[in-house]
Structure 1
Amino acid sequence: MDAKKFTPLAFLASLGAGGIAVMPFVLMQYTLDHGAGLITRAQLWSMDLSSYQVLYYYLLEFVMILFTLIHFALTIIFTIKLVRWMKTDSFSSLIKDPLRNTGILAPLISYIMSMNVMIGPLRYFLPVLSGNFAALFFPAMIFWSLFFILVLFTEIRLLEISFKNGFDINKINFGWLLHPFLLGMLTVVGTGIAAMASDNTIANTAAFMSLISGSMGMFLLFVKMVILFKSHFQSPGLPEKHFLPSFLIVIPNITLYAISGFRLGHFLERTYGFELGAYFYFVVGLAFAFEIWYMLFGFSLLIDYFRNNHFKEFYVTQWGLICPLVAFAVLGSFAHRIVFNNIVLYGILVMFMLLTILVYFELLSKHIKCSRSSHTTLSCAV
């Protein structure tokens, strides 16, 4: 497929931008002592900061602003293209193909990420949101509930197609994990509402709905990972090069379900008076420990890909590299507060953020070149 033709996987670019926008916010949230609740800009700048710290936090704020703008700009652009594309035969063809229809989930994941951007960076900068945060949970619950219905309908519909139509299981790839990824993104927002809402009805409703989406997502994650690894062990060599970036998609899945478990624990503490200190260490620590070795394992498999292909070619699946980097740094920020409060870990998280930004702009540059010119020296394909 020509790179100029739209694919819903392009939303991985807006999703990645939203993730990068959230990274500095999460880093500040879990590495600074700012009192109860989510950190605000007023809280940060009321601290006694050195001149170096002032410069550093200004840079973090710049990253949040820049990537928030990129996220919403790309979301609007891709949504317009998505609506047009859904009127073509390509849409129905994609939906009916169990090996390819996971691509339609990327827009939904990106849209739900927009809620995280609003709760994080936008609320951080806008006093009108941070000052009235409690009043926003009712409309947020309505909005999230509508997405909950849409996501469950979409997931069940795609699973129905897979069961009815059948497919060659030897041709599956790690992009298949967009199913639990979407459900995890939905769940992490729902558990966030449950953990922070002051209204017990809203909190309990969000928590139970999150159990539905979360249990479905974790079931699919487990089943699909078993099938994927079994399939890859039975196949000679690595998957095709345009599927290789998706190998790391396991990491954002783990991050989303770990944070969901973390937030569900806070919901139980606040609403029912549970004391779950060791639980948080176990959930965050075990998930982050898993991600460390899996990240090393994943990049060891991608060495030849980066050496021979990545910088010479562009295909939209390369955007799948951003979310794992974002997810690792985000969960690492949680781990910094709960598991391993150490300057070395903090430095690693900052380096990961810088790496993610560099990779993002490298991919964005290639994406733009392939979209605008047929004479680029890049090898462009979807």
Structure 2
Amino acid sequence: MAQTQHRPADTYSPLYFLASLGAGGIAVTFFMFLMFWVPHPGRPVPIFEDISAAFLTGGPAMQAAIGVAVLGIAYFATLNIRALIWNLSAFAAFRKSEAYAELRRSNAESTLLAMPLAMAMSVNALFIVGLVFVPQLWSIVEYLFRLAMVAFGLIAVLAFRQIGAFLGRVLSKGGVFDVTAHNSFAQLTPAFAVSMIAVGFAAPAAMATNLTTVAASLVLSTILGTVAILYTGFAAVTALGSMLQHGTAREAGPTLMIIVPIVTVLGIMFLRQDHGLHTTFAAHGNDGETLVFLSRLVAIQLAFLGLGAVVLRAQGYFADFVLGPKTSPGSYALVCPFVAFAVMLHFFTNKGLVAAEVVEKFGIGYWAVTGVAIAFQLVAIALVLRLNRQHFTARTPVVVPAE
């Protein structure tokens, strides 16, 4: 009798939205090449015309970098949208199952926030695709910013409805939330989702010229960013107590590093806000302050990368769930810290070290730090390709003989 083949992803979990999130994040890492290596005078970001001019007039190194960046953005943005569409379809079927009803009665209800998190990333990824591949896009960018804010607003409504349903259930009466199962940073997923929406709202502050658009961007991103920070602090402190008492939940071990992407997106939000305050409201900071600010963010990320690495190594997580035969949808949470740290190092190098004239752009020191960012990017790419192969490749179940 032929055996039925089964993909691990066929046993659906909302955490599979992280597959879309990770691919979108990698597209952002490739955009960093264009952002900081391609000249874009008079604009905060490079657009199609800047990239085309740099490719035609640049040397072999510049042309190679642009080629890699453009291909990387195209591939991983496509992967991002494909994974999002697959998740939305699979989630629609999952909602009709008893497994969904059980999830809504457990701590894992917070994993539903992976949906608005992935949606917000996809909006950001599509905006990058527009900048890179669509000629004359900048001529209508003010209208696009308003459309993007509407999209982020709708995603925010979805996110807060899900958060409200979860908190309303667990805080309205005792005994509903299982504190013993709170032994990870999985409950920071809502904070991550809100922070991703906040950084999207902050984009017009840095790039728009309309006063009303910039002001709305500043206010809305500040509100959402503040909520994300409050939620992160509360959820992290309560989870730490449970982890000290019960140890870290093995399959949720990667969430120990979720602080890393939260710090990156909120850090970019603050940088976008500062730029908007400077260009629109004449509020001036200085490069030294930015260097110190980014150094603090990198320090926080290093601390949590170290914490996650220590615990995951002690638990043998990589040997089982990444390199070994076991699968867990939570493994996709490993991609985000590598992506986020790579992006943060690009900002630290260019907006911090170079802007403050600590290192020379394209000098030895510059490439030493940028090389670390690229190394983290390569790890993220390897993780996505490996995890996609593990979770979305059909397998034939192994028959275990009866004793």
TM-score between the two structures when normalised by the length of structure 1: 0.91
Paired amino acid for 1:113: M
- 1:95-174 matched pairs, under 5 angstroms: 95-97=104-106, 99-165=107-173, 166-172=176-182, 173-174=184-185
- The range that moved more, 257-266 or 104-113, is 257-266
Paired amino acid for 2:126: M
Q: How far apart, in 1, do the equivalents of 2:192 and 2:302 lie?
A: 19
Q: Quickly say closer, same or farther: Cα 1:192–1:279, change in 2 above 3 A.
A: farther
The gaps in structure 2 that reach 5 residues or longer are 1-7, 355-365
Name the SS for the 1:46 alignment partner.
Answer: helix
Give 1:270's aligned residue: 279
Q: Residue 330 of structure 1 is aligned with which of 337, 340, 343? A: 343
CA contact (8 A) 1:3 1:315 kept: no
Name the SS for the 1:314 alignment partner.
Answer: coil
Give 1:285's aligned residue: 295
CA contact (8 A) 1:181 1:217 kept: yes
Q: How far apart, in 2, do the equivalents of 1:367 and 1:128 lie?
A: 40
Q: Residue 8 of structure 1 is aligned with which of 10, 14, 17? A: 14
Q: How far apart, in 1, do the equivalents of 2:110 and 2:289 lie?
A: 33
Give 1:380's aligned residue: none
Give 1:84's aligned residue: 93
Q: How far apart, in 2, do the equivalents of 1:232 and 1:309 lie?
A: 21
Give 1:186's aligned residue: 197
- The range that moved more, 74-83 or 194-203, is 194-203
Paired amino acid for 2:335: I
CA contact (8 A) 2:109 2:166 kept: yes
Paired amino acid for 2:299: A
Q: CA deviation at 1:270?
A: 2.1
Q: Quickly say closer, same or farther: Cα 1:271–1:338, change in 2 above 3 A.
A: same
Paired amino acid for 2:380: T
- The range that moved more, 99-108 or 38-47, is 38-47
Give 2:44's aligned residue: 37
Q: How far apart, in 2, do the equivalents of 1:222 and 1:240 lie?
A: 20
Q: How far apart, in 2, do the equivalents of 1:207 and 1:225 lie?
A: 26
Q: CA deviation at 1:155?
A: 1.8
Q: How far apart, in 2, do the equivalents of 1:138 and 1:53 lie?
A: 33
Q: CA deviation at 1:78?
A: 1.3
Give 2:3's aligned residue: none
In the TM superposition, what whole-angstrom CA distance separates every residue of 1:276-330 from its partner, at most 9, and x where no partner exists?
1244333322112221232233223222322355311111000000111111111
Name the SS for the 1:127 alignment partner.
Answer: coil
In the TM superposition, what whole-angstrom CA distance separates every residue of 1:228-285 from its partner, at most 9, and x where no partner exists?
22222223xx423211122211111111111111111122212221001244333322
Name the SS for the 1:275 alignment partner.
Answer: coil
CA contact (8 A) 2:256 2:308 kept: yes
Q: How far apart, in 2, do the equivalents of 1:95 and 1:271 lie?
A: 45
CA contact (8 A) 1:174 1:247 kept: yes
CA contact (8 A) 1:21 1:121 kept: no
CA contact (8 A) 1:174 1:249 kept: yes
Q: Residue 17 of structure 1 is aligned with which of 23, 34, 41? A: 23
Instruction: Provide the alpha-carbon RMSD of the alignment.
Output: 2.1
Paired amino acid for 2:290: F
CA contact (8 A) 1:16 1:322 kept: yes
1:375 aligned onto 2:397: yes
Give 2:357's aligned residue: none
The gaps in structure 1 that reach 5 residues or longer are 378-382
Q: How far apart, in 1, do the equivalents of 2:255 and 2:92 lie?
A: 25
Q: How far apart, in 1, do the equivalents of 2:154 and 2:64 lie?
A: 41
Give 2:186's aligned residue: 175
CA contact (8 A) 2:38 2:50 kept: no
Q: CA deviation at 1:220?
A: 0.8
Paired residue total: 372
Paired amino acid for 2:187: W
- 1:236-247 matched pairs, under 5 angstroms: 238-247=247-256
In the TM superposition, what whole-angstrom CA distance separates every residue of 1:26-82 from its partner, at most 9, and x where no partner exists?
232134443222112431342343223322321221111100111111111111111
